[in-house]
Amino acid sequence: MKLDSKHMRYLNADDWKTLTAVETGSRNHEVVPTALIGQISGLRGQVHRSISALAKIGLIGRLKNASYDGYRLTYGGLDYLALNTYRKRKDVYSIGNQIGVGKESDILVVADEQGFQRVLKIHRLGRISFRTVKANRDYLRKRNAGNWMYMSRLAALKEFTFMTALRENGFPVPEPLAQSRHTIVMSLINAFPMRQIASVPNPASLYAELIQMILRLAQYGLIHGDFNEFNILIKETKAGGTGTEDGPEKLILTPILIDFPQMVSVDHANAEFYFDRDVNCIKRFFERRFHFTPDEKGPHFKDARKSIGKDGVQRLDVSVEASGFSRKMAKELESYMEDIGVDGDRDPNAARGDEESDNDFEEEDGGEEEPEVADESYIIPSASGDEEMGTDKFGNEV
Ligand code: ADP
Ligand code: MG
Q: Residue 265 is part of a domain; what is its CATH number?
A: 1.10.510.10
Of 152, 62, 63, the C-alpha closest to 340 is 152
Total domains in the fold of the chain: 2
Are residues 250 and 315 both part of a single domain? yes
Q: Please answer whether residues 216 and 232 qualify as being in contact, where contact means their C-beta atoms are separated by less than 8 angstroms.
A: no
Rounded alpha-carbon distances, angstroms, from residue 76 to 19, 30, 389: 11, 16, 22
Are residues 203 and 293 both part of a single domain? yes
Query: Which ligand 1 atom minimizes the distance to the CA of 260?
Result: 6
Residue 106 CA: which ligand is closest?
1
Q: Residue 17: which domain range?
A: 1-86+380-398
Return d(Cα 257, Cα 193) in angstroms, integer.
10
Percent of the chain residues past pLDDT 90, beyond the cut:
68
* pLDDT interval class at 349 (50, 70, 90): very low
Catalytic residues: 226
Mutate to test the pocket of ligand 1, among 1, 104, 105, 107 (most ligand atoms within 8 A of CB): 107
259 falls within a domain:
yes
Strand 105-111 to 117-123 pairing: antiparallel
Q: Quick one: three-class SS letters along 170-197?
A: CCCCCCEEEEECCEEEEECCCCEEHHHC
Mutate to test the pocket of ligand 1, among 121, 127, 167, 232 (most ligand atoms within 8 A of CB): 121
Whether ligand 1 lies within 6 angstroms of the CB of 282 is answered as: no
Return d(Cα 211, Cα 390) in angstroms, integer.
51
Q: Which amino acid, residue 369?
A: E
118 falls within a domain:
no
173 falls within a domain:
no
Percent of the chain residues past pLDDT 70, beyond the cut:
79
pLDDT at residue number 326:
96
Of 37, 17, 8, 35, the C-alpha closest to 25 is 37
Mean pLDDT of 385-390: 41
- Ligand 2 centroid to Cα of residue 98, in Å, is 15
- Ligand 1 centroid to Cα of residue 86, in Å, is 20
Whether ligand 1 lies within 6 angstroms of the CB of 121 is answered as: yes
Q: How many residues does the chain have?
A: 398
* pLDDT interval class at 67 (50, 70, 90): confident
Return d(Cα 188, Cα 256) in angstroms, integer.
11
Are residues 304 and 391 both part of a single domain? no
279 falls within a domain:
yes
Rounded alpha-carbon distances, angstroms, from residue 126 to 32, 75, 158, 185, 232: 20, 11, 16, 21, 24
* ipTM for the complex shown: 0.99
Return d(Cα 378, Cα 93) in angstroms, integer.
9
Per-residue pLDDT of 113-126, as tens digits, reads 999 999 999 999 97
Whether ligand 1 lies within 6 angstroms of the CB of 271 is answered as: no
Task: Report CA 43 to chain centroid distance, whole Å.
Answer: 34
Q: Whose CA is nearest to atom 25 of ligand 1?
A: 189
132 falls within a domain:
no
65 falls within a domain:
yes
144 falls within a domain:
no
Task: Write the CATH number for 8.
Answer: 1.10.10.10
288 falls within a domain:
yes
Whether ligand 1 lies within 6 angstroms of the CB of 99 is answered as: yes
Per-residue pLDDT of 21-34, as tens digits, reads 999 999 888 899 99
Are residues 275 and 197 both part of a single domain? yes
* pLDDT interval class at 3 (50, 70, 90): confident
Pick 3 or 224 by higher pLDDT: 224
- Ligand 2 centroid to Cα of residue 126, in Å, is 16
pLDDT at residue number 325:
97
